[in-house]
Amino acid sequence: MAVSDLNQNDEILQTEKITISVTFVDGNNPFQAVQEGRVSKANLFPCVLVMLEILANEVPL
């Protein structure tokens, strides 16, 4: 991959935004809060890594 490709990808990541919504539902918790937010594509990968780590550490019901 060329440096120009990397720069172009970074520019796209910095200018485009997407919306993600992740909901963890606990059927035993009637007071569970759901949060929604917006994240830029540049920040999406770290967010996904955090979500995967949370899922990896979840205790099965």
Per-residue pLDDT of the chain (61 residues; tens, 9 = 90+): 455 555 566 666 666 665 666 666 666 666 665 555 666 667 777 777 887 887 777 756 4
Alpha helices by DSSP H, 1-61: 3-15, 41-56
Q: What is the pLDDT of residue 49?
A: 80
Alpha-carbon separation of residue 56 from 41, 50, 53, 59 (angstroms): 23, 10, 5, 9
The amino acid at 36: E
Global confidence as pTM = 0.31
**Which tokens sit at 54?**
């949370």
Q: What is the pLDDT of residue 31?
A: 67
